[in-house]
Amino acid sequence: MAVAVILVLIAVGSVVFHFLSPWWWTPIASNWSYIDDTIIITFWITGAVFVAVVFFLAYCVFRFRHRPGRKAAYEPENKKLEWWLTIATAIGVAAMLAPGLFVWSRFVTVPAEATEIEIVGRQWQWGYRLPGKDGRLGTTDTRYISPDNPLGLNPDDPAGQDDVVIEGDDLHLPIGRPIKVLLRSIDVLHDFYVPEFRAKMDMVPGSVTYFWITPTRTGTFDVLCAELCGVGHPAMRSRVVVEGENDYQAWLQGRRTFAQLAVPAR
């Protein structure tokens, strides 16, 4: 009886902790409320299954407890029960996957009017690149990476000469404008993550991954690396500043382009 009561208390306590605990996510600052909805659906499904399984265990512990003179019946299989469990599991898994597939489709379907920016990760800092007046990012290649060209921009590509390169500083984004985020790693696996944006993506060496966001709230938000990338992983931090269009343009005018940064090196 004591074991059955403990199991019930574990199930009920877990549900109460979920609703009363202070660990709930930060206020959202992008268009990806769909991701919050998907997580909530997953919580409800997995939570209901967890409570049902624990309650069933408690029932079995109490109902089939040892009593003098009773003998357990050997039943190696039960076709009817197996079918019910298979169907219920399939429905539960489909209910969790369907919203995720819908959100993923939106996550990688970039609006045509989105502005491209690039984020480069390397041990253990972030680099950012924004398009210049031509609205296009220049090409890159790992062969061009050097202390004077840490992002590996192609010096012979005219489209990259006016690209704004940001090293050791915050990234600024305008509010209400869709942004396509191109992600690249120079050395090992990294993961660009801003909790308030609900958007994150692995950065794979040799590949360019992407997602898109529309910032919906002004403020300063922490950038984290969500992939263990070496001893300096906890210190791989930066910030994203979301501001109005006028403030963003004023900040952008004060940034140096790739051509300006390359002059001293030449």
pLDDT at 75: 78
Q: Give CA–CA dist 83/249, Å, rounded.
A: 62
* Domains observed in the chain: 2-65+78-108 (no CATH), 115-265 (2.60.40.420)
- Give 4: exposed, middle or buried? Use CB within 10 Å, 0-12, 13-18, 19+: middle
Please say whether the beta carbons of 244 and 175 come within 8 A.
yes
Task: Give Cα separations from 127 to 27, 78, 146, 169 (angstroms).
Answer: 26, 59, 14, 8
Provide the CB-side half-sphere exposure for 29 (13 A, CA): 21
pLDDT at 237: 92
Contacts of residue 172, defined as CB under 8 A and 6 or more positions apart, other chains included, come to 240, 241, 242, 243, 248, 251, 252
Token pair, residue 247, equals 């403030």
pLDDT at 178: 94
pLDDT at 264: 53
Residue located via tokens 């990476």: 145
Spell out the per-residue pLDDT of the chain, length 266, in tens.
788 888 888 888 888 888 887 666 788 999 998 888 888 888 888 888 888 888 988 888 888 887 788 777 777 888 888 898 899 889 888 888 888 888 888 888 899 889 999 999 998 899 999 998 888 888 888 888 888 888 888 888 888 888 898 888 899 999 999 999 999 999 899 999 999 999 888 999 989 999 999 999 999 999 999 999 889 999 999 999 999 999 999 998 888 888 887 655 44
Q: Give CA–CA dist 35/19, Å, rounded.
A: 19
